[in-house]
Structure 1
C-alpha cells in the first residue's frame, strides 16, 4: 500500500527532460536515462537472465537484510530468485548505460544477489574494477561460478555482512556505489554515512527500492537533505545522488 500511494504521488510530481533546467541533469536524462540505443551487450545481459531462469539450482539462502517480500522459504530456486531478488531487465540495462555514460572505473555494489547488476557494470567497462559484497555465502559462490563461465574477470566477490566488509575496503574512492541490499532505514543511512568519505566530487551513489517501505522512503529523504548531497534524481525504483559542489542543491523526479 505504501508503494502504491508513493507511486501515485510520484506520477503527479515527476517530469521528463522538459522540466529540467540543470545542464548536467538534462544531459544525464537525455543522453543516459532516455538513451534508446540497442547496445550489443544487452544481448549478453538477456542471455545471462535466460540462463538463470532456466537453472535447476536451488540455494540455501541466508538473508542478512530485509529479505524478500515474495520468497519466504530459506531454500530458493535460482529461477524464482532472478524474478524477485535481482535487477530487472530494465534496471540492468539502465545500470549498463550509467556505467558507460559516466565511464565508471571503480564500482562498489552492496548486494550481489545473482549478479544481474554486477554483470551490467562489468560489461559496460571491461577495464573497470567492480567490488561486490553479498551476505549470503551460497548465493555469492553460485554467482561467482556463473561469472567464471562467462569469462568475466573484473569483479571481486566479497562475502559477509556489509558493515564488516565495508571496513575492510582498501579503495580510497569509488566512482559509483550501488546500494542494493538490506532495505532498512537505519542500515541504509549507516552505510551511506560510512561510505561518504569514499565519494569524490563526480561520484554517483545509486539507491535501489527507495519506496520499498515507509522506512526506506524516510532514509531517502534523509539522504536528500544531507549537506554533502547536491543533486538527486528520483526515478521511483532507483534514486541517484550526486555530490558535485559546483551544482546548486536540487532534487528531480524523472519518469522512465
Structure 2
C-alpha cells in the first residue's frame, strides 16, 4: 500500500516540478543553481560517507527507544547498527544538500530534531564549524553511539539533547536567543510536526531556514506540509519531494515552488 501511494505521489511531484528555466524568483534561481544542484565536491563528504560505510558494516545491537512515528521497515526494539544506518539515516544526496544549505546560509544556531546515528548531524556540523548544533534524540543508546561517531570525526560543535522531544525542544528553545536553521525529522505525524514547527517559529527570524523531512511520508505529513505552506509567517517554500524548505524572507513575494531534485 505505502509503495503504491508514494509512487503516485512521486509521479505527481515530477509532473509539477520545474527545472532551472522555470524559476523566475532571483532568490530561488540562485538557490537552485548554486546550492540545490551544485555539482562540486567538498572534502567533508568523504569524511561523513566513510563513517556511513563503517556503520553499514557494524553488527552491534542496540536497544532502541522510539518516541516518534517509528520505522516503516522495522518494529523491533533491538536493532543492529548497520540496519539503523541503512533505514534511518538520510541518504548521502540529502545529507549533502543539508551541508550545502548550511554552508550557503552560514547559520549560527542550528537545531536538528532527530539525531539517529549522527550522519546528518555530522554534515551540519562540518558545514558550520563556528556554529552550534543542538541535536535532539530520544534513545539513550543511539545518543551514545552518535556521540562516539562525532568524536571519531573530531566534531566539537554538537550538543546532543537527550529525552522526549515534546519536552526537550521547548526547554532548549528557551536557552537560545534565536534559531537560524532547523531540520525537522523527529516525528512523522501531523500534530507533533505542526507543534514542532510552531515551537521553532517562536525563535525564528526573517533569515531562518527550516527543512522538513519526508513531507510525503504519510497522509498526515502531507497535511502538515500543506498547512505549513499556508501559514501567514511563511513566505516561500520549496518542495523537493523528500524534503521541504521553508523561508520567511519578507522582501520576497509569498510563493510555493516545486523544484526538480
CA distance in 2, matches of 1:67, 1:245: 36
Q: Is the counterpart of residue 46 in structure 1 residue 49 in structure 2?
A: yes
Establish whether residue 167 from structure 1 lines up as the match of residue 170 from structure 2: yes
Cα offsets for 1:60-119 (capped at 9, x unmatched): 011100110001211001101111101111111111111111112221000000111100
Give me the whole-angstrom Cα distance separating, in 2, the residues matched to 1:165 and 1:19.
Answer: 41
Confirm or deny that 1:228 pairs with 2:233. Answer: yes
Question: Which of 234-243 and 161-170 deviates more?
Answer: 161-170
User: Which residue number corresponds to residue 72 of structure 2?
Assistant: 69
Deviation of 1:151 after TM superposition, in Å, equals: 1.7
2:179, 2:200 within 8 Å by CA — same for their partners in 1? Answer: no
Offset at 1:56? 2.1
1:95 has 2:98 as partner: yes
Residues 1:191 and 2:196 aligned together: yes
8 Å CA contact retained: 1:107, 1:131: yes
2:153 pairs with 1:150: yes
Structure 2: tracts of 5 or more residues without a match? none
Aligned to 2:246: 241
Query: Residue 138 in 1 paired to residue 133 in 2?
Result: no
Is the CA contact (8 Å cut-off) linking 1:114 and 1:140 kept in structure 2? yes
Superposed CA offset, 1:22-66 (max 9, x none): 101111110000100011111111111012112121110111001
Name the CA distance, whole Å, in 2 between partners of 1:220 and 1:42.
29
Identify which of 110, 113, 128 aligns with 1:110.
113
Look up the SS of the partner of 1:232 in the other structure: strand
Shift of 1:195: 1.4
Match in the other structure for 1:12:
15
After TM superposition, which residue ranges in structure 1, 4 or more long, deviate above 3 angstroms?
none
Structure 1 residue 3 corresponds to structure 2 residue 6: yes
Q: How many correspondences in the alignment?
A: 256
TM-score under structure 2 length normalisation? 0.96
Aligned-pair distance for 1:149?
Answer: 2.4
Q: Distance in 1 between matches of 2:108 and 2:60?
A: 33
SS of the residue 1:127 aligns to: coil
User: How far apart, CA to CA, are the structure 1 residues paired with 2:101 and 2:46?
Assistant: 17
> Pick from 73, 86, 89: which aligns with 1:86?
89
The separation in 2 between residues aligned to 1:161 and 1:110, in whole angstroms, is 11
Q: 2: distance between equivalents of 1:168 and 1:130?
A: 15
